Chains A and B, each alone.
Chain A
Amino acid sequence: MKRLLSSIRDGNGFDIVLVAFPLGFLFLMAGLPLLYNILMSFQEVDMFSLGTFLRPFVGFKNYQDLFAQPETWPILGNTAIFVTGSIAGQFLIGFGLALFFWVNFPGASWLRGLFLVSWVMPGLVVGAIWNWILSGDFGVLNFMLRETGIISGNIFWRSDPNYSLYAVIIANIWLGTAFNMILLSVGLASIPGDLYEAAELDGANAWQRFWTITLPMMRSTIGAIVSLGLIFTLQQFDLFAAITSGGPNNSSNVTQYWAWDLSFRQYDFAKGATISVIMIVFVMFASVVYVRSTRHEVRG
């Protein structure tokens, strides 16, 4: 007993305790629900068996039923558009801003900090603001597009099935750009300045320096930000709840919102769990990419 105590005080035991706490927390709060979710996707769940743990095992029936539903493929397609559109927009605008602030004009860091405001805002608040901006009759976006002559009639962003998904994508790009910019700024700042001087003396102009020095040196940062972007956009729920609620007629529905809708509005917990399991596969893939790219961050 005494040996055990002294080990905990200043030996290996202390390290084990340190590791055990977060591991235990992760297992309890994330691991168990995850496993329960996977289990549930192979079970028949209804309102009456909700409280029990062992329910009738149905194999892949939930998966088969899910893909037999007509809305499944369109919603998966929406998710793909939402993820690629959001990541592309967030990354390109974020990178552009990061390069802009990298020039380091007076007040650059102050202004860059201000951009973080969008990132710390709750999704529901952002959604509410964008509801005004996107509003069909009196929205600022329509006003600007009309005045610049890009559109002739109002677009009903939230209720037109052709635009509803893009309405959420626009709001999500606005929400995530600042985060992209900050991470990319950090990546840019960690490139040693003398590399640029060496490249300049080697005859490279600004464009060549960007392609041969900046981009390759940012590879791990870009890998990390894109995989984090995938994880974050697959988690984006608030904006859908606030702006379109997945509608009209599922035209802006995505898997994460649909899973919630199935589970907690239609009480089809098995299907909800099934969709979650499919999403877990994608998120796991993104996580592996993320971990790999941050591991390679060691610079020569």
Chain B
Amino acid sequence: MTKQIELSGVNKYYGAFHALKNIELSIEKGSFVALVGPSGCGKSTLLRSLAGLESISTGDLKIAGELMNNVPPRKRDIAMVFQSYALYPHMTVEQNLTYSLRIRGVPKAEAKKAAEEVAATTGLSQLLGRYPRELSGGQRQRVAMSRAIIRHPKAFLFDEPLSNLDAALRVHMRKEIRTLHDRLGATSVYVTHDQIEAMTMADHVVVMKDGVIEQQGAPLELYDRPANRFVAGFIGSPAMNFVPAVVGEDGRSLAVDVGEKQTITLDRQLQPGRRVTAGLRPEHLHFVEPGQGVFRLPVGIVESTGSATYITTATAAEVTIVETARRPVRTGDIIDVSIRPSDVHVFDGESGLRV
């Protein structure tokens, strides 16, 4: 696999503000990479730096092996789908699609043919004569994508392209974008704040916070082995439960503090007496027969979605449990839950790093 985009030692400053901190990232040709993180984490800045809309302060940026630090956006051969779609409001759909071709001086007939071909694949054939204001949100989204596709660029950049759509359409467009990516064999970089989008669409997920890449890897790798507390809390929905804990004297158990002290066994050896944080995913906590679990917890809030029930306990450190068996649970009940030792994540009490 060849590297399509390479960033090494990239830093970005806005005056005194350090927006990107020593970014190391390489993106293989044909892969779908998601940049994910809370707002203000630098993911959009990173994407705009790839496009050339922001310049990087230090470090190297290579696209298809060529150093791009000082190349203007129009010469980078990169297409971007904006959050606002940025369709040209004074042009019809067809004119929007063919804009880049017309700028390059492609003959009219050829550009028209290209627009029709792309429109056929994205379902816009009937809408070529319309103006953006006459389209629905989903259709605008498709126009924005088609405008990118028509150019056959070196890479596609997506800046939260689905955030303006309603929930149902978002789920649908998620698949559509991924299908399109696979069919075109494109290289895509996708910015989102929604970890579900990142997990479901990408081959490679980059989690960022405060301008730093906290962890990157395959989606399930991030889910199974989060490098630190931040990634653990960010990936997975509902979020992981964090409870303060102390490693037992044998080094193979954790004294966990959820209202009352309870003990979980571990599948690995840790330094006895160490203060840590135990990370327990809500979906890994299972109901067991009374007296057989590691936790006895009073039920606080019960939220049922039909497919799953979210139970939040009435303990000092709140614990959320996802339950899919439709067990009759009511506020005030005492429930017995257990967790497999291999499902327990342990993070250092101070640094938050995975132990």
Contacts and interface: CB of A to CB of B under 8 A. Distances in A.
B74 A300 contact: no
Nearest to B75: A203
A219 B88 CA distance: 14
B99 A197 contact: no
Nearest to A218: B90
A299 B82 contact: no
Interface residues of B, number: 29
A201 B89 contact: no
A98 B320 CA distance: 58
B100 A203 contact: yes
A204 B86 contact: no
A162 interface: no
B132 A197 contact: no
Interface stretch (A28-36, A205-213, A279-287): A205-213
A300 B89 contact: yes
B90 A219 contact: yes
B51 interface: yes
Contacts of B134: 300
Interface in B100-144: 100, 103-104, 131-134
A298 B131 CA distance: 13
Given A200-B53, A201-B73, A202-B74, A208 B80 contact: no
A198 B72 CA distance: 13
Nearest to A194: B86
B87 interface: yes
Given A192-B84, A197-B82, A204-B74, A217 B89 contact: yes
B104 to A, nearest CB: 6
Dominant SS among interface residues on chain A:
helix
A202 B86 contact: no
Interface string B147-167: 100010000000000000000
Interface residues of A, number: 21
B84 to A, nearest CB: 6
Interface string A155-197: 0000000000000000000000000000000000000101101
A212 B82 CA distance: 19
Nearest to B135: A300
A208 B103 contact: yes
Nearest to B104: A203
Nearest to B81: A198
B64 to A, nearest CB: 16
A199 interface: yes
Given A194-B84, A300-B87, A201 B78 contact: yes
B100 A195 contact: no
A216 interface: yes
Nearest to A196: B86
Interface of A: 192, 194-195, 197-205, 208, 212-213, 216-217, 219, 298-300
8 contacts: A197-B73, A198-B80, A201-B53, A202-B74, A202-B79, A204-B99, A212-B88, A300-B133
